[in-house]
Amino acid sequence: MKNLITEMDGLIFCHTGPEYLDMIIDMEKDNSNFVYIWSRERHIEAIKNDDEMHISIINSVDRKLVGYILLAGIGGEDDVLEFRRMAIADKRKGYGRVGVKFIKRYCFELLKCHRLWLDVYTDNENAINLYRSEGFIQEGILRDCKKDKGRYRSMIIMSMLEQEYRAD
């Protein structure tokens, strides 16, 4: 597989190529209650941008795309990375948990970051529970920070520090 990053627990993580963009855009629409919708152009920009990383998640058995991950802050001077987004097509198969475990390992062990942070809508209980169970700590709430379909939504900020990852 070209652009391979690693294989872990039955999933292949690789740098996203343009062949996956249609499926990723569809996946985003299917997860639109919990992730931002990007244009094709914005996804291409993330693929090409040195500050961002666009990662596809492939099932190693059937080689089908099951999700994707976006990171930001690559190479920043503060050693802080944003776990910008993860969307999974096939729910309740453990792909999200493996994705979070991969991101923690990749960010702390390979990229040598000090802090990994994310934001998540307050009503996305499945994601919040997953992040908590994987050691992320809630830092605060951004109240009514996003306008979505005419209503305001709040987001929880969560993070993990390098020493917390190492202690896990």
Structure tokens at 90: 């096939």
pLDDT of residue 90: 85
pLDDT in tens, 92-149: 899 999 999 999 999 999 999 999 999 999 999 999 999 999 999 999 999 999 998 8
Whether the predicted model's global pTM rises above the 0.85 cut = yes
Q: Which residues contact 17 (CB under 8 A, 6 or more apart)?
A: 2, 3, 47, 56
**pLDDT value at 35 more than 80:** yes
pLDDT in tens, 44-88: 999 999 999 999 999 999 999 999 999 999 999 999 999 999 999
What is the crossing angle of helices 125-133 and 95-105, to 10°? 50
Q: Which of 160, 136, 55 is nearest to 102 (CA)?
A: 55
With H, G, I as helix, E, B as strand and everything else as coil, classify residue 23.
helix
pLDDT of residue 1: 55
pLDDT of residue 2: 66
Confidence of residue 21 (pLDDT cuts 50, 70, 90): very high
pLDDT of residue 168: 78
